[in-house]
Amino acid sequence: MEQEVYSMPRIGDLAPHFEAVTTQGTIKFPDDYQGKWIILFSHPADFTPVCTSEFMTFATLESQFKELNCQLVGLSVDGLYSHIAWLRTIKEKIEYRGMKNVEVTFPLIEDITMTVAKRYGMIQPGESNTKAVRAVFFIDPVGKIRAIIYYPLSLGRNFDELLRVLMALQTADAFSIATPADWRPGDDVIVPTAGSCGVAKDRMEGKESGVTCHDWFFCTKPIPKDEIMKKIKK
């Protein structure tokens, strides 16, 4: 039988559709979350230590993601009953970095056939043929993929960075700007590059209020953190 081949989705593509069984019932993805941002993330296996630390952290931070109008959806190639048993173990037995009695309420997809994992490029043979790498897809409210991060099996994710990426994407959309290296809400943002010699000249001469130009093509302006959070919080 010929094996179905999928091309890996890219930034700017619409998120591939699928229907799946999860720990929160059957979902149609991404249709069920239309109007929300989504973080779809994969993990290699249930009952593994790195994944356990990540799920506890995701669950602990879930309210912060919700405030940013973002739905978390997890995936691994284990089965539903394994998922349920693992999440119960996390809640009833695991204490880590001050986190305990942690209940995971976001959906965790069963993907024994690896159909979804393959469709999203989560199975990478150079790392493993039988486990999904730690992929993270940021999907916007119209179902478009806006950012992708891949981690190897051995490396736990940085959750400050996941929140930062989400807020940066939302801020860029809300204010039509770009964000510089290491940007966090409240830091100066980058304004669009001047589209004409006249605008560039005005900026360099300080005629554009509130804008600081480091050169004609690199200009920044402040946006207060509270103004950003008011726009991007649910």
Residues involved in catalysis? 51
* Nearest C-alpha neighbor of 192 from the set 169, 170, 175: 175
Contacts by residues 124-130 (CB-CB < 8 Å, ≥ 24 positions apart): 124/150, 127/152, 127/153, 128/44, 128/153, 130/77
203 annotated to bind ligand: no
- Say how many C-beta atoms besides its own lie within 10 A of residue 47's C-beta: 12
| Local structure of residue 28 (DSSP, 8 states) | E
The first and second tokens of residue 196, run together, are 């004409």
Q: For residue 146, how many other CB atoms are within 10 A of its CB?
A: 18
Cβ neighbours for 79, distance < 8 A, ≥ 6 positions apart:
110, 112
Binding-site residues for substrate sit at 134
